[in-house]
Every structure is written in C-alpha cells, then in structure tokens.
Structure 1
Amino acid sequence: MDILVLISYLSLAAVGISTVAYVYFDRKSFVNDRIVAIVLGLMISRSLTNSAVVGILMWYFSYYEGNLVLSAVFSNIQDSLSSLLVIFMANLSDSFFGRFRTLLFSTTAYIGGVFLLYLFNPYDVKWLIVIALVLLALGTSGYKVLDEVLIELVDDIDTLKKPATLKNRDPELMDNVDTSEERKQLSKERAEIWSRIAYVSGTIIAILWVSPSGLAGVYLTWRAIFLICICFMTTQLIVFIRGYKLYYQEELNQRPAMIFFRVIGHYIGKYLCKCDCGCTAKRKHSGTTQKAEGQDDRNANLHKQDMAKVKILLKIFPMWVSYFVVALISATGSTFFIEQYSNLKTSNKLPVQIYNNLIQEGSKFLIPIIYKKVTCSRRNNQKVKIGVGMFCSIVCCISAWQLEVHRLKAVKKLVDQNANTSISFLLLVPQFLLLGCMEGLTNDGLSEFFKSQVDKDLEKYGEDYIEVVLGVGKLFTIALILIFKSRLGWFGKTINDSRLDKYYIFLVCVCSVNFLCYCCIATFWFK
C-alpha cells in the first residue's frame, strides 16, 4: 500500500511540474512548445533511474550477497558497455534510424533492464543478469542522443521561434533566420542548462524519496525502487511517443565512426584480391567499362580522404593512452569508492547518491567553469587543463588510501563488523570531489584538444571517441581486479576482508607515472 501511495505522489508531482513548466515556458516564450517539455520530462525520468539504480549498481549487488569482486565486475561491465555503446547509438541516430527511433529503442531497453532486475535476484540467474546489464547499457548510452535532440529543438526555437516540423521547414522562411555561430552557441548553452536542470531534478527526487535511505524519511526496498523507475520512465516514454509528429530531424548523414570500418574493409578487400590468383587476369580479360573506372576513382578518392582522417586520429594516440588511466580511476570511483561508505558514521541514514550524483557530478560540472574563469587570460591551455585533471587523480587516490587505512583500523576494533565506526561520512567527500574535478577537467581539456587537432567535420565527435577510451579502460579494470584477487589476494568477499588500501597505493603509483608521461607527451610530442 505504501508503494502505491508513493507512486501516486510521484506521478502527481511529475504532472504538476510538467504543467507548471509548460505554462511558464509558454508565457515566458523561453521554450514555447510542448515537445521541449516532453523531452525534459523524459530526461528527468532517465536521470531518476540513473541516480536511483544504475549509478549505485555496486551498492545493489553488494546488498544481496556481499561478494565484492563479483559486484565490481558486474558494475564495471555495465559501465564499460555504456561508454562503448555511446558511439553505436550516435551512429544509429545520425546514419540509420534517426534520433527519435534511436531514443525509443534506448529507453525501451532501459525499461527492460530495470524490469529484469525487478523480477530476478542478481545471483540466482547470472546469465540473465548479464542480459539486464546489456539492456541497461543500451539505455544509458542514449543520453547523448537525447541531449542532441534538446539542443536541436532549442536551436530551432531561436531561429524559427518554434521547433522545426515538416510544415515550417519552408525554404522561404529559412532564408531570413539567424544562422550565426554566436547564436548557435547561445542556443547550445541554453539547452545544456535545461539538460542540467533535468538531471539535477531526477537526482534530487532519487535522494529524497526513491532510495533505500531517502532524506525525506522514505525507506524503500530495491524492488519498490525498480517499480517506481519503471512506471515513471514508461509514462514519460508514452508521452514522448505521442510527440512524434512534433519533432523533425534533418537528412541523415554518415558519422566519422564509419571511417575505420571503411579503411579496414578496403585493406581486407585488397588482401583478398591479391590472394585470388585469377582476379587480375579475369579483370583484364573482361575489360573495364568507363562506369567501373569512374567508380574505382571515386573509391580511391574516398579511401584517401578516410586515410587522412585516420592518420589525424592516430596522431592523438599518445593522448588517448594517457587518458586510459583516467578511465581506470573513474571505474574505481563507481565501485570501490561507493563501498567505502560502509561502516562510516550515519551511513544508514544518508543515501549514497549524495556522493556520486551530487558531489562528484557537481564538481565535474562546476570545476571546469571555474577553471575557465580563473584562466580566462590564457589561450590554448587545453594541455594544462588535462594535466591539472590528472594531478587531481593522484590526490584523489591518496585521499581514498588514507580513508581506507583509518576505516580498516576502526573496523578491526568492532565486535560486529557491520556496525558503524566513529569515522565521519564527511571524510568520503574529498575523494568524490577530486574524482569529479579529474573527470571534468580531463574530459573538457581532451575534448578541446581534439577539436584543435582534427578537421572541422570531425570536431563534434570528440566526446564519442573519449567515451570509447573510457569503455576500454573500464574493461581493463575488470581484468586488473581479477588478477589482483587471484595472484595477490587483495580482494576478499567483502570490503572488510579486502586490502583496498594496497590497491589504492598501486593506483597512486600508476597515476604518478602516468602524470609524468603525460607531461613529456604534452611538452615534446604536441608542441
């Protein structure tokens, strides 16, 4: 009965917020169409699910069996797949199905993944939980597509004074619109602000009400949390589908991610042609038509263009390698940092989302803005920004190491190792704050550096490639954990049986070496 009452309250709150937002948008003419309010509603529902479920999967898996290594492996699988699939979703939206259908597919997969978690214990049917993790990854990887939809809608509003549809895409009307870069940048910033508001709204709802230890005094079971997220996201998806005719996407284009496949395919075809002894003789005997020659010329030109772009991307390879360690620390933050919340004072009264969804994400968003204001007089300081972020990773691991040393000492003094120690939960704040600083500065700096090194048609795809590097780094974390468990015995069944302090010392050494290597690369490789 309590669950039904809570679902009713949340539904009424969502309807009320949507109504007030719609009236406000319509009167203030800031966002004066229903489709934008619908997109923001879908953003809030996805943010709620991410904060209440996906962001703390490590906490959820540990809750059932307490197997630290298996929980970390499951959490990192979902996290790495989510990063790797970002470029897959981007290709689907821009080259094949369009953004609307891609979002429909992504959100449906998201709901399906949460539904499987609702139905099954994660350790009863392990192969089924892997399917759930893949579905969750497909769902979370669609966030960038949703951001692009909002940016496009706000951009259309600023140019046409209403979102673009098939009816108002009249060429005569498009001749008099403002298409300047300054106006487009302003539209993008406005869309990012509303995207951030939607994200924070979903996070606050999760912290207050949809949590095992909500700040509003609502203590829900995991099944109740899953049910609320399923209902909220399904409702918003239905509303989003109803707005299909209100959204218009321009002609699909081919994303640069296909370049690699074309280059690889070209060399495979060339190799197979050489292996075929009769290939050349047969071609000479049959003769080549003029049309075929023209096609060959076009393919050759396309291959040259592709190779030029691939060479540019490979030139940045040393920078990708240095960013690999950032992915390793990020994966640690979403798993072991959360587990350190155990045994801290008041740990049973505060939701763990405060750390990773408010402190970490807040610093990830705000620190780059502050950095930009502080260093406004300096230009082309992307490499310095990345270096500052990597230095933050060293301090972050040192902070986590010191906390774990004191936490393990305090736990050994307890009769019941599940009881709380006298260590304040506030001591966990610095490492999450520094983790957000590391991610924000390195992501921003690497994205700006990428734009400065590539052609104009590749500039906006930097985040896609960064996500791929993050995904590979998080997969490597899984292998690292399993090696340290089997060879060195650093990881036990629970966090209190493990030696995370030694693992953090290892990360401090890795981050320090990586920082020195990065300084050399930034100084001598990219002058």
Structure 2
Amino acid sequence: MALQENGSEKKFSFALVKNFLHQLRHLFVNSKALFFMGALAASYIIVEFSVFSTMMDYYEESVMVEDLGRSAILRNLQDGLSSLLFIFVSLISEAYTGPVTMISICAAASIEGLMLIWISAYSESSGALYAAILFLTIGKSGQTLLDSFLENKVEEIFEAREKIEIKDGSTEKQNELDLIRIILTNTWLLAPLAVGYVVIVFTDFFNQDYDIIFRNSAVLMGGCYLLFLFGSTKYRHEQVCDESNLGKILRICKAACGRRESDYPASENGYYWKGNVRTNLCYVYGKGVRLKPRVPRLFRWLDKAAILVPDVSLDTQERDGKVCSVKEVREVKNLVPMNYLCFSFFAYSLLVATGNTFFVAQASSMTTTNGYDISKLFLIEVAAEKVSRFICFLIMVGLRSMRTTHSTSKTFVVTTSIIRIGFGMVCAVICCFVARKVELHRLSWILNQTKELKIAALYPQFILLGMTEALVEGGLKKLFHAHVAKSMWSFVDSYIELVNGIGKLLLIPLVLMFRGSWFKKTIDTSHLDRFYLMLGILNAALLLVCGYYSFRYTYKETSPEDAAQPDQEDEENPEGHVEEEENQVEANVEEQEDHLGHFEEEDQVEENV
C-alpha cells in the first residue's frame, strides 16, 4: 500500500514538472512582444533605483536647493502628484487612448525629464531642475500602467493556450494549472527587476557622479523606448472601454444629485432593475426601500440614481442620464467603505513618503559614494518586499488547503486580508521606532565623534519598510477585490496610488509646520528622532482604528451562513442550479448582506425617535 502511495506521489510530481516545463516553453515561444515591453519595464526600474531613489540626496547637495525641509517638500510634491496623476492616466488609457499610447507618452516625458535634470546637474540651472521635476512626475505615472499592461499580456498568453487545450475537467488538474500559471506569471514579471538588479550591483554604470548617472539613465531609457516602439505593432491594437470607471461614478453621482429631492420608492419596483434579479438586494428604512449595501448616511442618496421617473419612457431617461441601473449603483456604492477605510492608512503612507525622503537623508550623512549606497538600500527594500509577498503567497496556499467547508472563499479572503494588513501596520510601527533609535545613535556619533556609524545600520528599517509595503498593499488589493464588483477591479491600482499619494502630500504641511524645530537646514541640526516617534505613535493609533473598522464593519459584510445558503438551496432544488448560475453575476446574492452594522443601529434609533 505504501509503495502504491509513493508511486502515485512520484507520478503526480513528474506530471507537475512536465506540465510546468510545457507552460514555460509555451511562454518563451510566444514572448516576442513581451521582450520589447520588458525592456522598457527594466529601464524604468533602473531609473527608479539610480535616479528617483537618490533625488532627495541630489536636492540636498544641489546649490539650487541645499535645505532639508525644502528638499523634502520637492521630493514629496513630485511623488504625490505622480501618484494622483496615475489615476487620470489610467482612466484616459482605459476609455480613450489605450495603454500603449499613454505608456509611450509617459516614457517620452521620463526621457525628457532625465535630459533636463542632466542639464541642471552640470549647469546648475534652477529652471531646468523644476522643468525636469515636472516631466519626471508625468513620466513616473506610466510605470505602474506599464507593469499592469505587461501582466495582462502574460495572462493573455496563458488564456490563449487554455482555449486550445483539451481539459480533463478535474478540479485537481485545474488547481495545478492555476498554480503553475501564477508562478510563471510572477516569475516573468520579476525578470525586469532582476535585470535592474544586475545592472545596479554588478556594473559601474551608475557608480558615478550625478550628472553622469542622469546622462546614462537618459541614454539607456531612450534605447529601451525605441525597442518598445519597434515592437508596438504586436500589441498596439488595444480595445478601449465604452466608459471608464470614473465616468461611471460621475454619471451616477450626477443622476443622483438631479433626483436628490425625490422620495424613496415604497417598493423595489420603483427602481430600474434592467432585467437584473431582485433577490435580497433591498432593505426597508423609514418610509422607503433602499438598495444594499448599506453605506454611511453621507452617501445614501446614491440610491436615487436608480429611481424611475414617472411618465417618462426608459429609453428617454437612459439617454438623458436621469436614471441608472441598480447594478451600476450598487457597484459604485461598493467603493464607499473602501474609501472610508483608506483614511486609516494615511499614517502608513506618511511612512512610505518618509522612506523616500528622510531615510535617504540619513543615508546621505553616512555615505560618500554619490548615491550608489542609497540605490543598494532601495534594492534591499524591494528584495524584502518581494520575499514577503512570496511568503504570504505560500501561507495563503497552505491556509486555503486547510480551509473548512463552513468558510466561503470570500469570507476567507476578507479575513486573511485584514490580518495581513494588521501585521503590515505592526511592521510600520516597529520600523518607525527602529529608525528613531538609529537616528539617536547617529546624532550621538555626530556630537561625540567617538565611533563611525556605517550605512549598514539603516538595513533594518529599509527591510521593515519593504515588509510593510508588501503586507499592507497586498492585503489592500485582496480586500478591494473581495468587496468591489469585478467590473471595477481595474481601479485597484488607482486606489493604492490614492492611498500613497495622500500621505506624500500630507507630509508637506507637516514639514512646514515643524520646520523651525524638527526640520532645520541640515539633517545634523534637525530632530528627526522626534518626527519618527510621532509617526510611530500615529501608526499605532491608526492600527487600532483600522482594526476596529475592519472587524466591526468589513468582516461582517458577508457571514458564512449567508454565503452557504445558495449551496443548501442547490441540494434541495437541483433543477434550479443552472438558472442560478446564469444569474449569479447579475444578482450577486452572496455580496454584502449587512454592510455596516453600526449604521444599522443608528437607523433603528432614528426609527424609534
């Protein structure tokens, strides 16, 4: 019996390896277009490590800035605007131009910015510097768009192979194919990072003065940009959506504002369902019927966008934008709790902004190699982030295999995402206190001149920063996918950039507020230890806020009993299984039974009054 089990395990392992090799061969055979896109992605990563990571140090050394607070303001203004600009770039590419056109425009702006900052480095021209900051801000917004486009192309290659293959229909086989697909996709997406790592570490290409670094970066990215344009004939024909997610949100808000004085209908028939199933998607509040999910009072008026206008034909109402379908309104309402939740992460985003500014300023006071050691610090941070993501992936695979049948897939994803975010914010608190301790040692070394503090002292805080980004952003992405309708999933990158952009811009008024006490002209006369202490306390406080909000509201959004109900109905009525599957996407029965328990209690109080 044992011999049979060992034989079956060997057979399974051999089949898994064989399938993996076949998928890998198929990917390489069909990866001609991926090579051109990967070249531009690799150049973006090299510029990220060699230029963007050292901008704070360059601002401090430049005679045009030469001030810690002013350098931090310029750096965060550049990063914050780049994050917010990405939202508009992604929406324009989604609805109007397609990703290839926007990527080309952003890459051209990056090259122009690198050339201008090269001019400012050797001519000390402030006008060239500020123009370079503007172009680099525009160009940086295309990096995330390129990464998403490259990922979509890799997935398209696997989807094309699955269509021509004969499936055996077994769940075990399908899970095996999904696992291989995830591994190969992420491995291919790591290829540009590996190329950037080799160029930075094993060559002297960027171990030079800043003007030479900027010149080499411009030449390298220009060459990769030409490769991208050369291969664009293979992937330029991109279909655009009829309407972007932002356009849908604005259309629904406009329709709801136009009907704001209208009364809520007395029954669900007063809403425009547009053929959708009406199963458990309404609740009674006061004298009217509202649409689920329940949202805070500030956004409940969105339901009025789906209220039918009496004595007017449906075609006329839709053409004039006076009514929207229930499905569209519910999709937009699903974004509301995630927007509320993002405000509890502004302390985390402050830490990310601090990593690009004051962490670099600390390294500048310990190194004399013109930013090369700073680039290695960011390589360590990215390595810690990728390793943390891989460990989370392994843990999720193990937990999913041990998951009980009483826990639905959506509940499992929500729970693990909240726990992952919590661990990430704990790492953020630890990172702040470790950075404070290093800063106190550095100030003590400057005061006493007793022992040299090496740049290796900064390794722990950069590793913790990478772990924090992997845990928080990875958890946020999974939580976003669990709460928001699939048609809005393309908005997840914009949501992450919004969270980061808020913190980068909020750091500017903090610097101005404490400029005379905590932030002075140089880092040696400043008190970054006090700022790190405040940042650690703020992250700890918002960790409690995020935990309270997540477990009280978000976790209750889908209970295991509600999600298990369709399976029980299938056992009792198997003939209705096919019909239920056809309407599952439209009805979304499992979705958000009771969105915010806290607001339900408020509703009951108001009704009693």
C-alpha distance in 1 between matches for 2:340 and 2:156: 39
Q: What residue in structure 1 maps to residue 489 of structure 2?
A: 459
C-alpha distance in 2 between matches for 1:480 and 1:127: 26
Q: Does 1:232 align with 2:220?
A: yes
| Closer/same/farther in 2, CA of residues 131 and 155 from structure 1, 3 Å limit | same
Q: What residue in structure 2 maps to residue 369 of structure 1?
A: 390
C-alpha distance in 2 between matches for 1:51 and 1:349: 10
Q: How does 1:92-103 map to 2 (within 5 A)?
A: 92-103=92-103
Amino acid of the residue matched to residue 357 of structure 2?
T
Q: What residue in structure 2 maps to residue 503 of structure 1?
A: 531
1:472 to 502, 508, 525: 502
**Cα displacement (A) at 1:431:** 0.6
- Kindly indicate whether the alpha-carbon contact (under 8 Å) linking 2:57 and 2:361 is maintained by their aligned counterparts in 1: yes
Q: Does 1:394 align with 2:413?
A: no
Q: What residue in structure 2 maps to residue 45 of structure 1?
A: 43
Q: What residue in structure 1 maps to residue 247 of structure 2?
A: 258
Q: What residue in structure 2 maps to residue 308 of structure 1?
A: 330
- Kindly indicate whether the alpha-carbon contact (under 8 Å) linking 2:103 and 2:145 is maintained by their aligned counterparts in 1: yes
Q: Does 1:193 align with 2:223?
A: no
**Cα displacement (A) at 1:203:** 3.4
C-alpha distance in 2 between matches for 1:485 and 1:147: 37
- Partner deviation per Cα, 1:339-388 (whole Å, 9 max, x = no partner): 111343787796211112x2111111211321343463263311111000
2:315 to 265, 286, 294: 294
Q: What residue in structure 2 maps to residue 434 of structure 1?
A: 464
- Kindly indicate whether the alpha-carbon contact (under 8 Å) linking 1:327 and 1:470 is maintained by their aligned counterparts in 2: yes
Q: How does 1:242-391 map to 2 (within 5 A)?
A: 242-253=230-241, 254-266=243-255, 294-297=315-318, 299-302=321-324, 305-344=327-366, 351-356=373-378, 358-374=379-395, 376-377=398-399, 379=412, 380-391=415-426
- Max radius of gyration: which structure? 2
- Partner deviation per Cα, 1:72-112 (whole Å, 9 max, x = no partner): 11111121122212222211222111121111101001101
Q: Percent identity?
A: 25
Q: Structure 1: any 5+ residue segments left out of the alignment?
A: 1-24, 162-173, 215-219, 272-287, 415-419
- Partner deviation per Cα, 1:465-522 (whole Å, 9 max, x = no partner): 1211211221001111111114xx2111111010001111111111111112122112
**Cα displacement (A) at 1:251:** 2.1
Task: State the TM-score, normalized to the length of structure 2.
Answer: 0.69
- Kindly indicate whether the alpha-carbon contact (under 8 Å) linking 1:112 and 1:135 is maintained by their aligned counterparts in 2: yes
C-alpha distance in 2 between matches for 1:431 and 1:132: 30
C-alpha distance in 2 between matches for 1:328 and 1:178: 51
- Kindly indicate whether the alpha-carbon contact (under 8 Å) linking 2:119 and 2:125 is maintained by their aligned counterparts in 1: no
1:512 to 534, 540, 554: 540
Secondary structure of residue in 1 paired with 2:27: coil
How many residues in Structure 1 have an aligned counterpart in Structure 2?
461
**Cα displacement (A) at 1:190:** 2.6
- Kindly indicate whether the alpha-carbon contact (under 8 Å) linking 1:207 and 1:353 is maintained by their aligned counterparts in 2: no
C-alpha distance in 1 between matches for 2:123 and 2:361: 19
- Kindly indicate whether the alpha-carbon contact (under 8 Å) linking 1:87 and 1:257 is maintained by their aligned counterparts in 2: no
**Cα displacement (A) at 1:453:** 1.1
- Kindly indicate whether the alpha-carbon contact (under 8 Å) linking 1:106 and 1:140 is maintained by their aligned counterparts in 2: yes
C-alpha distance in 1 between matches for 2:123 and 2:540: 38
Cα root mean square deviation, aligned: 3.2
Q: What residue in structure 2 maps to residue 403 of structure 1?
A: 438
| Closer/same/farther in 2, CA of residues 265 and 37 from structure 1, 3 Å limit | same
- Kindly indicate whether the alpha-carbon contact (under 8 Å) linking 2:199 and 2:205 is maintained by their aligned counterparts in 1: no
Q: Structure 2: any 5+ residue segments left out of the alignment?
A: 1-21, 261-308, 404-411, 557-609
